[in-house]
Amino acid sequence: DAKTTQPNSMESNEEEPVHLPCNHSTISGTDYIHWYRQLPSQGPEYVIHGLTSNVNNRMASLAIAEDRKSSTLILHRATLRDAAVYYCILSPAVAYSGAGSYQLTFGKGTKLSVIP
Amino acid sequence: SAVISQKPSRDICQRGTSLTIQCQVDSQVTMMFWYRQQPGQSLTLIATANQGSEATYESGFVIDKFPISRPNLTFSTLTVSNMSPEDSSIYLCSAGTGLGYGYTFGSGTRLTVV
């Protein structure tokens, strides 16, 4: 599986936007980019995913570089509840074919601290 | 998305004993997984729980130590056998119908072996 690189930690002020970067220079043309986050003492939760185009949902936006070698998770207005470890994960397109199971492989992620 | 109930939420066990962790999903899912997370570390996949067949284990994890059952599309168990203090960790269940819909995780079972 292609590897992702994320900063170990980041800080943000409450109510300000947060841009969490992820480098994936060895991404293949069919790899999807996923983001999950893990709040303290909880299991991870799905945030967003995308392939080539930028994606938006109620939780966040995902901006994908044109060459797809990097992506950025954008939290538009950080709250204290957004303090978590954020994981950027790649998965091959075959995982979407419905043929068998495909597991998520977690890296170290970025620990986001939100300052009141 | 699916909601997972994982039990127990925590336990303290004597070395040499076994603990069975239950994972109940509120809807049918095609995929279920078990992870382990050491304190302050990331998640490590233990195995994929296959419905109606033997689980698929990752390198470093064996069936004799971590037997897994998945009798139907909503339920799975993970047993941690013959426990030692090195098995102290958080064990998490995950489930989903496909990566495109996102996978759901349980809140985890915090296991302490003494």
- Nearest CB among B1, B99, B107 relative to A43 is that of B107
User: Which pLDDT value is given to residue B106?
Assistant: 96
Measured between CA atoms, the residue of chain A closest to residue B100 is: A96
SS3 state of residue A80? helix
Q: Has residue A96 got a pLDDT over 60? A: no
Query: Whole-angstrom Cα distance, residue A72 to residue B22?
Result: 36
**pLDDT, average across residues B23-42:** 94
Let me know: does B108 contact B92? Beta carbons within 8 Å. Answer: yes
**Closest C-alpha to B88, from B5, B6, B23, B19:** B19
Q: Has residue A109 got a pLDDT over 90? A: yes
Of the pLDDT bands very low, low, confident and very high (cuts 50, 70, 90), residue B112 is very high
Q: Has residue A20 got a pLDDT over 70? A: yes
Residues of B in contact with A43 (CB under 8 A): 4, 92, 94, 105-108
Query: Whole-angstrom Cα distance, residue B1 to residue A53?
Result: 23
Of the pLDDT bands very low, low, confident and very high (cuts 50, 70, 90), residue B2 is confident
Question: Is B99–A95 a contact, with Cβ atoms under 8 angstroms apart?
Answer: yes
Provide the CA A89 distance to its chain's centre, in angstroms. 7
**Closest C-alpha to A90, from A112, A61, A64, A58:** A64
Measured between CA atoms, the residue of chain A closest to residue B3 is: A45
**pLDDT, average across residues A55-74:** 95
Size of interface A-B (CB pairs under 8 A): 58
Question: Is A42–B108 a contact, with Cβ atoms under 8 angstroms apart?
Answer: yes
Task: Check CB contact of B1 with chain A, cutoff 8 Å.
Answer: yes
